[in-house]
Amino acid sequence: MELIGKALALNELVAYQEGSVVSKTMIDKKIGTVTLFAFDAGQGLSEHTAPYDAMVQVVDGEAEITIDGEPHVVSSGQMFIMPANHPHALKAVKRFKMLLIMIRA
């Protein structure tokens, strides 16, 4: 599906799969990436760090984002910026979709 130059409904571009994390890369450039994810309840990303800030835009559902051991609950319609060089992890409290935007600077 061609993505450029079209109005798109983010919630419809990636589907939930039982017991899985599904992702679709929307933009992949040297300067950064935009990726859409769908997490089944209980699924997540283990703790890691990144050398640049990353923004999460919650499309659907609810998740817990942990930064430096401190949990933050985010839900549909909210955004969260994860700071560079700080350990972070993510877990779907309920089925959860997010747009992850990473700009390498």
- Domains of the chain and CATH, by start: 40-105 (2.60.120.10)
Ramachandran angles phi, psi of 45, nearest 5°:
-120, 130
What is the pLDDT at residue 22? 97
pLDDT greater than 80 at residue 4: yes
Write the DSSP string, 18-79.
Answer: TT-EEEEEEEEETTEEEEEEEE-TT-EEEEE--SS-EEEEEEEEEEEEEETTEEEEEETT-E
Retrieve residue 69's tokens: 């051991």
How confident is the model over 45-104, as pLDDT tens digits? 999 999 999 999 999 999 999 999 999 999 999 999 999 999 999 999 999 999 999 998
What is the pLDDT at residue 1? 61
C-alpha count within 13 angstroms, C-beta hemisphere, residue 43:
18
pTM for this prediction: 0.91
pLDDT bin (cut points 50, 70, 90) of residue 2 is confident
